[in-house]
A = this chain, B = another copy of it.
Amino acid sequence: MPVVGMIGGGQLARMTQQAAIGLGVTLRVLSDSAHASAARACADVRIGDHGSLDDLSAFAKGCDAVTFDHEHVPSDHIRALEAGGIACRPGADALLHAQNKLIMRERLSAAGVPSPRFSPVREPADLAAFAERTGWPVVLKAALGGYDGKGVWVFHSVDEARDVIDGAVARGVELLAEEHVPFRRELAALVARSPYGQGAAYPIVETVQRDGICHEVIAPAPGLDEEVAARAQGLALDIAERLGVVGLLAVEMFETDSGILVNELAMRPHNSGHWTIEGSRTSQFEQHLRAVLDLPLGSTTPTAPYTVMANVLGGADPAVYDRYIHVMAHDPGVKVHFYGKEVRPGRKIGHVTVLGDDLDDLLARARHAADYLREGPR
């Protein structure tokens, strides 16, 4: 049976391990700590630094394919692994577009993919010039390394932005400005692509963000026009093909009055796809493994009319397990997922999923469970 190496020991690797167990595949995890989320759940854990080529090379030896739980492995290291004959999936050339937002914007714009206007920012004057075209506010982003709202700012004037720009330039951080899109809501497309070239698309979902963190996902996005949904799926499949993605591609999108715009890309299991564990015939985690191993992809048929996923964040009281009793007794149909991470306020520590046909009921149940797991009784 094959060995898939996943670089990163977070909850995405942890949930991939559940799928790997089912398929009989060995998931080997490179983790910076034996106490990381996935390290607590896997039999084959190697402790090492994803920034060290030596650690990466030692880890990859004997893996049939190497894939990623996050975007933080330097491109040059992935290229070096590939040069050494390691099947990195996705490869460095594809992954670069999920690592560097400026390169992604340039590539997708050149390909005619509908995107917000953007511009590189090297000094405050660049931001001023950009805002003259788009108006304020303007979104400023670090090209590399941001996630969950980190490395993203919204500014209403150059004066507001000056310290951030000067600080970033001083540290050599590449910046880009993007127009602030007045969106109706956020959507996400999730597709998989195998080396053979097979593609599979999940239904388009609605995502609700708070403070830059994914808060809630509704699958499928309620009331979404069928043609728009098909176009969004097609767009994601097209991006996956064009960039040579292998594995999952998540495309975060804005739904606006004039259509859909691409916000961000991720090439790994994604928070917007956690609903698929119960809500789809094939979970995103199994799908990622199948794609990475060049196996035929699984059915993305939903298992219920609606699935709602709500993230559980850490609250003031870390005794989450003590709150299982209420949540499970209150609602025997709610699925509780806990990532085995140390509880810190605001940190993603788990999620809950409910399925059914009454969306309002599902939203109320998911929110109750997630809120209670975070805070206990109000």
Contact A26 B40 (CB under 8 A): yes
The residue in chain B whose Cβ has the minimal distance to the Cβ of A44 is B40
CB distance from A279 to the nearest CB of B (A): 10
- Range of interface residues on A (Cβ < 8 Å): 35 or more
Contact of B41 with A338 in the complex, beta carbons under 8 Å = no
**Alpha-carbon distance between A295 and B323 when the two chains are bound, in angstroms:** 10
Question: Does A143 touch B at the CB level, under 8 Å?
Answer: no
**Total copies of the chain:** 2
**Is A281 in contact with chain B by the CB < 8 A criterion?**
yes
Q: Does A301 reach chain B (CB closer than 8 Å)?
A: yes
Q: Is the CB of A324 within 8 A of B339?
A: no
Stretch in A10-18, A82-90, A256-264 with 4+ CB within 8 Å of B: A10-18
- Cβ contacts under 8 Å, A224 to chain B: none
In the assembly, what is the distance between CA of A17 and CA of B27, in Å?
14
Question: Contact between A298 and B1 (Cβ–Cβ < 8 Å)?
Answer: no
A1-36 interface (Cβ within 8 A of B): 1-2, 14-15, 17-18, 21-24, 26
Looking at the complex, which one of B17, B40, B299, B336 makes contact with A333 (CB distance below 8 Å)?
Answer: B299
Which of A15, A328, A339, A350 counts the most B-chain CB atoms under 10 A from its CB?
A: A328
Distance in angstroms between the alpha carbons of A325 and B42 in the assembled complex? 25
Residue of B nearest to A29 (CB): B43
Which of B26, B296, B335, B338 has a CB less than 8 Å from the CB of A332? B296
Smallest Cβ-Cβ distance to A39: which chain B residue = B43
Q: In whole angstroms, how far apart are the Cα atoms of A336 and B299 in the complex?
A: 12
Contact between A24 and B340, CB atoms less than 8 A apart: yes
Q: Tell me, yes or no, whether A268 is within 8 Å of chain B by CB.
A: no
Q: Mark A273-294, 1 if CB is under 8 A from B, else 0.
A: 0000110011000000010000
A-B contacts, 16 listed (Cβ < 8 Å): A1-B321, A1-B340, A2-B321, A17-B41, A18-B18, A22-B337, A23-B336, A24-B338, A39-B43, A281-B355, A296-B325, A297-B332, A298-B328, A299-B332, A303-B303, A303-B304
Task: Mark A residues whose CB is within 8 Å of B.
Answer: 1-2, 14-15, 17-18, 21-24, 26, 39-43, 45, 277-278, 281-282, 290, 295-299, 301, 303-304, 320-321, 324-325, 328-329, 332-333, 335-340, 350, 355
